[in-house]
Amino acid sequence: MDEHPISRYPVPTMGELPEDLRDTIAAVSERTGFVPNVFLALAHRPDELRAFLAYHEALMEKPGGLTRAEREMVVVATSANNDCQYCVVAHGAILRIRARNPLLADQVAINYKKADLSEREQAMLAFAMKVADDSRSIDEDDFARLRTHGFDDEDIWDIAGIVAVFGLSNRMANFLSMRPNDEFYAMGR
Amino acid sequence: MDEHPISRYPVPTMGELPEDLRDTIAAVSERTGFVPNVFLALAHRPDELRAFLAYHEALMEKPGGLTRAEREMVVVATSANNDCQYCVVAHGAILRIRARNPLLADQVAINYKKADLSEREQAMLAFAMKVADDSRSIDEDDFARLRTHGFDDEDIWDIAGIVAVFGLSNRMANFLSMRPNDEFYAMGR
Amino acid sequence: MDEHPISRYPVPTMGELPEDLRDTIAAVSERTGFVPNVFLALAHRPDELRAFLAYHEALMEKPGGLTRAEREMVVVATSANNDCQYCVVAHGAILRIRARNPLLADQVAINYKKADLSEREQAMLAFAMKVADDSRSIDEDDFARLRTHGFDDEDIWDIAGIVAVFGLSNRMANFLSMRPNDEFYAMGR
Amino acid sequence: MDEHPISRYPVPTMGELPEDLRDTIAAVSERTGFVPNVFLALAHRPDELRAFLAYHEALMEKPGGLTRAEREMVVVATSANNDCQYCVVAHGAILRIRARNPLLADQVAINYKKADLSEREQAMLAFAMKVADDSRSIDEDDFARLRTHGFDDEDIWDIAGIVAVFGLSNRMANFLSMRPNDEFYAMGR
Amino acid sequence: MDEHPISRYPVPTMGELPEDLRDTIAAVSERTGFVPNVFLALAHRPDELRAFLAYHEALMEKPGGLTRAEREMVVVATSANNDCQYCVVAHGAILRIRARNPLLADQVAINYKKADLSEREQAMLAFAMKVADDSRSIDEDDFARLRTHGFDDEDIWDIAGIVAVFGLSNRMANFLSMRPNDEFYAMGR
Amino acid sequence: MDEHPISRYPVPTMGELPEDLRDTIAAVSERTGFVPNVFLALAHRPDELRAFLAYHEALMEKPGGLTRAEREMVVVATSANNDCQYCVVAHGAILRIRARNPLLADQVAINYKKADLSEREQAMLAFAMKVADDSRSIDEDDFARLRTHGFDDEDIWDIAGIVAVFGLSNRMANFLSMRPNDEFYAMGR
């Protein structure tokens, strides 16, 4: 048995995957240089993986007012808040690359309030934490505050949506004891 | 302006919807007798709605060891835990119908520990609350406990998955101030 | 043995009750159409029941600036906050009737911040939650805020008193596993 | 104006009180040597004071398996948990006297787990804290545990009832900023 | 075996102590009239005791803008927040003496917000609680608020430092089940 | 002004330091290759820095049953729990080096329960978290559990002491907005 399995559940081999997922994963692997474990761990249930990838793409790849680095800041802060090892390590790597900053991901993961961020970015993450932990209390004041930092209503939806979808994957990754690939830890440093 | 809007964001008319979503919603409407507001509120972003529906279907409509009533118990307990008005009201109605029990949904929403549930159902909901609030601590003991109540590993994934996907929709519904249709409140009583 | 006992403790029959309590309960029963279980469950200790009824009457039946519907909103929000099944179900029914609104009780119970309430009512419930959860921090600012919504000092005492007395009955009902009468669930819908 | 008022609300003079309350208070004053402020502060509303005194007497003065010192331990631990200055100071004095122990009240107020208590008393206070903070989760295991320490079901009701009624007075005392009489601080030391 | 040991760990006799600690403790004993148990309990590890005494002296004995009574207020509020029996009882005694006020220590320990304190002292303790419980969120607004009450930056460091060092001793005292000397309870009343 | 100051407070130059501290810091700098910012930030108050270094040395440099890597695990888990950026980044680097493991520090910082740790190490960190967050409840069961993993009473004191002293430095570092040296982020990867 593997000393460090990547999931509590069975993990399909590439050959066992449905063709569409095999193609998707091959494309990622070519771009990244390895297959991120999340694809294999979630592929135990192809329909759920497809839905997750579609949701992820709808928020992370779409055009919009948030930069790619900003989106990754939201992912890292949310995933740290939810204590998700896979997502902090993997998206921490992506944040370092997107922000071209080797320090920022660790800062955001430990305590975003002490990170090297602009006031706009601080406001974005404070709102993200409210969506994660106290969505029942979101009100017009939150929208007003974000607008003063230049976010429009579609940007605000993007922030909330990213928190919501990573809240899903954080819980699944914790449930599955999903293990980050060793490669992520040093990427972008 | 509408006295009680169903979302903070613009809501498309049926005519403005992409054809696939229009067909899906028309089918639901025929079955239920009205269009549940969640379809219209999320349709402001068709790609996200499609992904949400796919995820929802993958967990709520698939065959498996959990009954449909059990799945709705997980939805109602999770949504109450996350203080989501839309989901408690709408899925409370569905739970009353699926369980053929007019009392159960309110009991589960207020305090599932005092609800008319079997020990198996109590164990399922205790685990669901752990996924919702403390997924970082899920461990082998949780699996062992659930297995003594007859859940197999696929059932356990189903529970966790339902909590995760409704954690997403609870946050979005709170963010959007999504309003449940008046019809839900009295259904199945 | 009863499948669904109304209390963990022995419940007296009407014939076993002291005469004054029997008369009180008969009067309620005539008005409501059934005997609410709280009377029978607490009647295991007649002196405590008498004291509870006296306190309840002193706050819920007295004249004052709070409408009867407003008082029931405080009861439902407090009881939901304390996860008390009996009180949310029973007073939810009364709130529907007092407010002539079939939707309001469920809204207040799930998340009063998203309920169809005026700003005055929202301020009242926000203060009620502070009395329930953080009474140590009540200060002059709370009074000032409530006065801007038209509450005078006697109204404010009424709010605090209702929260305090239902904090008592919520804890007793949870302790006793007090079961709401089935009739309450559909009343006023 | 008084530098240290005993309540935010008007406090009646003895002459302004209804005769029954005047008699009750005079009797307490004779026994104690002064009028505890709680009587005067709550007397702003005679009906509520009468109900409170009746509830208090029904639990604190009745015969039963709990000693008077044990009841006061429950009061002090509950009031400390609820951060109530009046009740910790006043009932701390009574506990010192009832238990003939000048140290115990401060120990229980700061951290009952480190106090000079028997295992029976520790179990009693652990259950009291559950009634105060998590009554929703009380179940048969709690009863079973208390029975191993010699508590019968009526004793257990007494514990829960004392926590519930002091939960009420703790919230009212905090709401009123009720001030303990200076005399209490040094009594029984 | 001692009925009430002062520590879970072995406690050295005065004769077993290194000479420097023996001298320090003899001097304290002469001033106070007895040896406070903290010296003996921590003396199980002389190097740690020396470091603790040095840190304590650097903050509690130095000149500066905070009065000695104010420093003890911070100690008592922090220790109560951390549920430390030894420190609340021992420093409660010192606060009574320093402030020449027999009531203040109990008030601060139970709920400093209801204590007989100036606005300056309230602001100091509110900040102390933030250092104790939420240091991650300290920001410029905290400094600005304290400056309006006459604290300069060195005073603010003193407050934070006292909270930090007593956070250390509170945890050690709880860990050791350190017992306060009986003498402290009645000192200064 | 420096874009990224290492402390809110004035930072002395090496030349301004007292000689003993200058020597200490020079020695560290020679060993590490740079001066860790904590020395300079705390040197604003030489007496406190000396006391801190003495306490640190008494626990981190002494012989004993805990390996150096184990001690650093306690530091990283505690500092992550207290959201301290300086200590997680700096001691994360030291942990990578001591454990000769480039992945472990990030795993422990994000969620030690999912880290590549032995059962002994998991038990050590679970106890460390109890000292950090709930020291009031430490009891004999905690000692018994740790002994089954091979910890003796002196080892257990070491764990508690490390948590306590880093609880102090975490609060001070957050208070000072102490900035980790850039060098730490990549050390040992």
Q: Is B29 on the interface with C (CB under 8 A)?
A: no
- Chain C residues lying within 8 Å of E114, measured CB to CB: 136
Verify whether the Cβ–Cβ distance E174 to F138 is below 8 Å.
yes
Measured distance CA(E165)–CA(E168) in Å, rounded: 5
Q: Is D67 on the interface with F (CB under 8 A)?
A: no
C-alpha distances (whole Å) from A104 to each of D39, E140, F80 are: 60, 22, 16
Please check whether residue D59 is in contact with residue D165, taking contact to mean a CB–CB distance below 8 angstroms. Answer: yes
**Which tokens go with E103?**
């009531």
Which residues of chain D fall short of a pLDDT of 50? 1
- Chain E residues lying within 8 Å of A113, measured CB to CB: 136-137, 139
Q: Do chains A and D touch (3 or more CB pairs under 8 A)?
A: no
Question: ipTM of this complex > 0.90?
Answer: yes
Residue with tokens 């009693």: D124
**Which tokens go with E114?**
């209801």
pTM of the model: 0.97
Q: Is A135 on the interface with B (CB under 8 A)?
A: yes
Residue with tokens 């929260």: C163
Question: What's the count of helices (H) and strands (E) in chain A, helices before strands?
Answer: 10, 0
C-alpha distances (whole Å) from A72 to each of A59, A78, A108, A144, E8 are: 11, 10, 10, 23, 49
- Chain C residues lying within 8 Å of A137, measured CB to CB: 113
pLDDT given for residue B84 in this prediction: 98
Q: Is D136 on the interface with B (CB under 8 A)?
A: yes
DSSP readout, C71-93?
Answer: HHHHHHHHHHHTT-HHHHHHHHH
List chains adjacent to chain E, taking adjacency as at least 3 C-beta pairs closer than 8 Å. A, C, D, F
Q: Supply the DSSP symbol for F74.
A: H
**Which tokens go with C113?**
């911040």
To the nearest whole angstrom, how far is the Cα of B114 from the nearest Cα of chain D?
8
Measured distance CA(F62)–CA(A137) in Å, rounded: 50
pLDDT given for residue E1 in this prediction: 47
**Which tokens go with A141?**
């004041």
To the nearest whole angstrom, how far is the Cα of E109 from the nearest Cα of chain D?
8
- Chain E residues lying within 8 Å of D88, measured CB to CB: 106, 110
Closest Cα in chain E to F154: E9
To the nearest whole angstrom, how far is the Cα of D56 from the nearest Cα of chain C?
9
C-alpha distances (whole Å) from C119 to each of C75, C127, C149 are: 18, 12, 8
pLDDT tens, position by position, C68-81: 999 999 999 999 99
**pLDDT per residue as tens, chain E (189 positions):** 467 999 999 999 999 999 999 999 999 999 999 999 999 999 999 999 999 999 999 999 999 999 999 999 999 999 999 999 999 999 999 999 999 999 999 999 999 999 999 999 999 999 999 999 999 999 999 999 999 999 999 999 999 999 999 999 999 999 999 999 999 999 999
pLDDT given for residue E3 in this prediction: 78
Please check whether residue D25 is in contact with residue D53, taking contact to mean a CB–CB distance below 8 angstroms. Answer: no
Verify whether the Cβ–Cβ distance D139 to B114 is below 8 Å.
no
Residue with tokens 């010296």: E39
Dihedral sign for Cα atoms in the order B176, B181, B186, C3: negative
Measured distance CA(F67)–CA(A32) in Å, rounded: 38
pLDDT given for residue B3 in this prediction: 78
Which has the closest alpha carbon to D178: E184, A20, C164, A108?
Answer: C164
Verify whether the Cβ–Cβ distance A51 to B48 is below 8 Å.
no
In this predicted structure, the answer to whether residue B69 has a pLDDT above a threshold of 90 is yes
User: Best mutation site among F9, F11, F55 for testing chain E: the one with the most E CBs within 10 Å?
Assistant: F55
Which residues of chain C fall short of a pLDDT of 70? 1-2
Measured distance CA(D87)–CA(B56) in Å, rounded: 52
Dihedral sign for Cα atoms in the order B44, B47, B51, B56: positive
C-alpha distances (whole Å) from D134 to each of C64, C164, D130 are: 33, 16, 5
Q: Is D110 on the interface with F (CB under 8 A)?
A: no
Mean pLDDT of B96-109: 98
To the nearest whole angstrom, how far is the Cα of D55 from the nearest Cα of chain B?
27
Measured distance CA(A117)–CA(D167) in Å, rounded: 45
Q: Could you tell me where the beta strands, DSSP code E, fall in A10-110?
A: none
Which has the closest alpha carbon to B189: F171, E139, C183?
Answer: C183
3-state secondary structure labels for all residues of chain B: CCCCCCCCCCCCCHHHCCHHHHHHHHHHHHHHCCCCHHHHHHCCCHHHHHHHHHHHHHHHCCCCCCCHHHHHHHHHHHHHHCCCHHHHHHHHHHHHHHCCCCCHHHHHHHHHHHCCCCHHHHHHHHHHHHHHHCHHHCCHHHHHHHHHCCCCHHHHHHHHHHHHHHHHHHHHHHHHCCCCCHHHHHCCC
User: Best mutation site among D95, D114, D179 for testing chain E: the one with the most E CBs within 10 Å?
Assistant: D114
Please check whether residue F60 is in contact with residue F164, taking contact to mean a CB–CB distance below 8 angstroms. Answer: no
Task: State the amino acid at position E143 in one-letter form.
Answer: F
Of E109, E111, E189, the CB nearest to D110: E109
Dihedral sign for Cα atoms in the order B98, B99, B102, B104: negative
Measured distance CA(D176)–CA(A108) in Å, rounded: 43
Q: Is D4 on the interface with C (CB under 8 A)?
A: no
Of D8, D51, D84, the CB nearest to C55: D51
- Chain B residues lying within 8 Å of D136, measured CB to CB: 111, 113-114
To the nearest whole angstrom, how far is the Cα of D184 from the nearest Cα of chain F?
27
pLDDT tens, position by position, D35-79: 999 999 999 999 999 999 999 999 999 999 999 999 999 999 999
Q: Is C119 on the interface with A (CB under 8 A)?
A: no
Measured distance CA(A21)–CA(A40) in Å, rounded: 10
Please check whether residue D148 is in contact with residue D54, taking contact to mean a CB–CB distance below 8 angstroms. Answer: no
Q: Is C58 on the interface with D (CB under 8 A)?
A: yes
pLDDT given for residue E133 in this prediction: 98
**pLDDT per residue as tens, chain A (189 positions):** 467 999 999 999 999 999 999 999 999 999 999 999 999 999 999 999 999 999 999 999 999 999 999 999 999 999 999 999 999 999 999 999 999 999 999 999 999 999 999 999 999 999 999 999 999 999 999 999 999 999 999 999 999 999 999 999 999 999 999 999 999 999 999
C-alpha distances (whole Å) from F93 to each of B88, F7, F32, F57, F104 are: 47, 20, 11, 18, 10
**pLDDT per residue as tens, chain F (189 positions):** 467 999 999 999 999 999 999 999 999 999 999 999 999 999 999 999 999 999 999 999 999 999 999 999 999 999 999 999 999 999 999 999 999 999 999 999 999 999 999 999 999 999 999 999 999 999 999 999 999 999 999 999 999 999 999 999 999 999 999 999 999 999 999
Helix E46-60 and helix F46-60: axis angle, to 10°? 160
